[in-house]
């Protein structure tokens, strides 16, 4: 339920092939008459009164690509009798990543990733907060504990002998994920002024965090410290990992997701902000948007008005994921197929721009409405970056480099991001993808590369620029809607 089951996103579509599912008002809003006649319905609004048989299209749950960290070469691994081991975890809103670490010599023994099964309660933090505030908090906690336990068991089972000597765990996550994991009330997270129960930065017994089923009985679990309700411990970890807080050079750190979290500064001063981009850049809300699943269009070249696409695993196209969306938009802009206001030229304005066909000959298109969603998302990120630079008083010429964190940032071509105005053109060539810095921060804590006190000092030494009610942000947001 990417939209939390509100009947808004159309992502829970299923097709009835036998039996009857009554058409709901939400079905009528999302589907055409022809699609309704073919049996398409929104699963989140459907109430079955008889046995029905449905077809579920390829779902995001089938395989999200998640970034972990480089593990040591399998052949080189042997457990040292006097070494301690630990588990580092990044709990992302979409995916989880974990690493089994030799805390004594700093080696990463193995990594594993999984989809965050809280996704069935909503794709972004806002819908999860909504679900938690409406009585689903326990279920959300149970879901993430189950995911974590499964990941941990997998890593420990693959490396016999580590479980008994695994005494520490470090978890980096955004503030909402920490609340849901710990079962803290989420009422203070939804509305300004925010009142989080805690931003992390403490150590607990494993059972307090993972519940009575914890695979580690005698371990301690440290939650890395966050900075604010919307710039959490995952970003603190990123600041440390990129060396932003220890360098004279000014850097910009951006984690692109449904919220674009960003940090600007150096060892002397740091400013943080969070821009509400929404899920469009990751495929959420788009007619054919999907996660990074086999068949997702991940590359698009548009030449003489025609699209040539590349899909994940070279599978038959099933939808379009984040990088494909960005490349398609960059192509449309370059070829003049959308004007600077984002309007598709005819005949695509009404029919959408065709990218590919599915196995059953449905046209995968980027519609005018999709382009509006993309415009709003990229504008929120760009306006966030520009507001941060403007409000910090740091001249943009001093920005030495840009670190792009997270899965989407890893695969994104900064030059194409600049074509659509997601990143400033003058900073695109100074941009480096840094991967899962949240997990790397948790690993750093386990291996002693950074201490909890150092992370706390990083988290405390920031000034937050709240964009939600900032006039400059609103103005820039309107400006950057255009291409
Ligand atoms: S429309 Fe059903 S989950 Fe969004």
> Nearest residue CA, atom 1 of ligand 1?
7
Between the CA of 285 and the centroid of ligand 1 the distance, in Å, is 10
Q: Say if ligand 1 is within 6 A of residue 123 CB.
A: no
Q: Could you identify the residue written with the tokens 């994940």?
A: 312
Query: CB of 42 closer than 6 A to ligand 1?
Result: yes
The C-alpha atoms of residue 384 and residue 403 are separated, in whole angstroms, by 15
What is the whole-number distance in angstroms between the Cα of residue 26 and the centre of ligand 1? 9
Q: Using the structure block, give the residue that is written with the tokens 């997701």.
A: 257
Q: What's the token pair of residue 285?
A: 């809300």
Is residue 422 within a helix (H) or strand (E), and if so which, with residue range? none
407 lines ligand 1 (CB under 6 A): no
Q: Which of 1, 41, 118, 120 to mutate to test the pocket of ligand 1 (most atoms within 8 A of CB)?
A: 1
Would the CA dihedral through 330, 433, 242, 240 be positive or negative?
positive
Nearest to 373 by CA among 462, 280, 310, 461: 280
pLDDT at res. 60: 45
**Angle 326-329-334 (CA atoms, 0-180°, nearest 5)?**
125
In angstroms, rounded to a whole number, what is the distance separating the alpha carbons of residues 411 and 68?
14
Q: Which atom of ligand 1 is nearest to the CA of 4?
A: 3
Give the H or E element holding residue 423. Answer: none
What does pLDDT average to in each consecutive run of 10 residues of the chain (483 residues)? 79 90 92 89 92 78 61 64 92 92 93 90 89 96 96 91 91 98 96 93 96 89 97 98 97 91 97 90 83 87 95 91 93 95 94 91 91 95 96 95 89 91 94 94 97 98 91 94 92
Whether the CB of 13 sits within 6 Å of ligand 1: no
- Which class in CATH covers the domain with range 74-223? alpha beta
What Cα–Cα distance (Å) separates residue 111 from each residue in 369, 392, 393, 422, 477?
39, 38, 41, 31, 39
Distance (Å, whole) CA 353 – CA 366: 5
| Any atom of ligand 1 within 6 Å of the Cβ of 8 | yes
Calculate the alpha carbon distances from 168 to 91, 179, 338 in Å: 16, 20, 53
Q: To 5 degrees, how large is the angle CA 348–CA 349–CA 355?
A: 35
Structure tokens at 442: 């948790």
Pairing relationship of beta strands 399-405 and 431-435 according to DSSP bridges: parallel
Dist CA 411 CA 327 (whole Å): 11
The first and second tokens of residue 209, run together, are: 């965090």
Q: Tell me the chain's radius of gyration from C-alpha atoms.
A: 23
Helix, strand, coil % in the chain, rounded to nearest 5: 40, 25, 40
Establish whether residue 14 lines the binding site of ligand 1, counting it when its CB lies within 6 angstroms of any ligand atom.
no
Q: What is the pLDDT of residue 56?
A: 84
Tell me the CA–centroid distance for residue 13 and ligand 1, in Å. 8
Cis bond upstream, residue 193 (ω within 30): yes
Q: Where are the domains of the chain?
A: 13-56, 74-223, 288-366
- 232 Cα: distance to centroid of ligand 1 (angstroms): 27
Report the candidate in 118, 113, 66, 109 with the shortest Cα–Cα distance to residue 89.
113
Is there an atom of ligand 1 within 6 Å of 458 CB? no
Our answer on whether the CB atom of 11 is closer than 6 Å to any ligand 1 atom is yes
Enter the tokens of residue 454: 């150092």
How many angstroms does the Cα of residue 56 sit away from the middle of ligand 1? 13
The model's pTM is 0.87
């Amino acid at each position: 339920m990417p939209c939390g089951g509100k009947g808004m996103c159309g992502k829970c579509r299923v097709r009835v092939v036998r039996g009857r599912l009554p058409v709901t008002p939400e079905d009528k809003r999302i589907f055409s008459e022809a699609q309704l006649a073919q049996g398409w319905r929104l699963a989140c609004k459907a109430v079955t009164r008889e046995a029905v048989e449905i077809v579920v299209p390829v779902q995001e749950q089938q395989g999200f690509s998640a970034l972990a960290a480089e593990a040591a070469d399998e052949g080189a691994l042997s457990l040292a009798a006097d070494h301690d081991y630990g588990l580092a975890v990044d709990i992302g809103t979409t995916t989880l990543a974990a690493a089994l670490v030799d805390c004594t010599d700093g080696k990463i023994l193995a990594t594993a990733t999984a989809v965050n099964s809280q996704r069935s309660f909503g794709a972004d933090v806002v819908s999860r907060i909504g679900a938690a505030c409406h009585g689903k908090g326990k279920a959300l906690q149970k879901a993430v504990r189950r995911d974590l336990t499964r990941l941990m068991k997998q890593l420990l089972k693959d490396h016999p002998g580590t479980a008994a000597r695994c005494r520490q765990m470090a978890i980096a996550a955004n503030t909402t994920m920490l609340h849901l994991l710990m079962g803290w009330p989420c009422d203070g997270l939804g509305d300004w002024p925010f009142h989080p129960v805690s931003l992390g930065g403490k150590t607990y017994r494993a059972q307090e965090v993972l519940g009575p089923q914890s695979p580690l009985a005698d371990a301690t679990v440290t939650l890395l410290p966050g900075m604010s309700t919307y710039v959490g411990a995952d970003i603190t970890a990123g600041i440390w990992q990129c060396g932003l807080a220890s360098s004279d050079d000014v850097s910009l750190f951006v984690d692109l997701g449904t919220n674009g979290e960003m940090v600007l500064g150096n060892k002397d001063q740091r400013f943080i902000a969070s821009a509400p981009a929404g899920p469009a850049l990751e495929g959420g809300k788009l007619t054919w948007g999907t996660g990074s699943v086999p068949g997702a269009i991940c590359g698009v070249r548009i030449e003489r008005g025609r699209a040539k696409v590349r899909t994940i695993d070279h599978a038959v196209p099933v939808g379009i994921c984040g990088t494909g969306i960005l490349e398609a938009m960059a192509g449309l802009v370059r070829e003049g197929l959308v004007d600077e206001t984002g309007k598709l030229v005819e005949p695509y304005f009404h029919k959408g721009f065709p990218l590919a066909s599915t196995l059953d000959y449905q046209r995968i298109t980027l519609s005018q409405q999709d382009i509006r969603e993309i415009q709003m998302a990229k504008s929120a990120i760009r306006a966030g970056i520009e507001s941060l630079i403007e409000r910090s008083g740091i001249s943009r010429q001093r920005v030495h480099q840009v670190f792009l964190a997270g899965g989407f940032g890893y695969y994104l071509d900064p030059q194409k991001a600049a074509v659509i105005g997601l990143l400033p053109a003058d900073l695109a060539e100074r941009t480096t993808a840094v991967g899962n810095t949240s997990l790397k921060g948790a690993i750093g804590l386990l291996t002693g590369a950074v201490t909890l006190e150092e992370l706390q000092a990083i988290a405390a030494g920031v000034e937050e620029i709240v964009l939600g009610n900032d006039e400059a942000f609103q103005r820039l947001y309107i400006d950057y809607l255009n291409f």
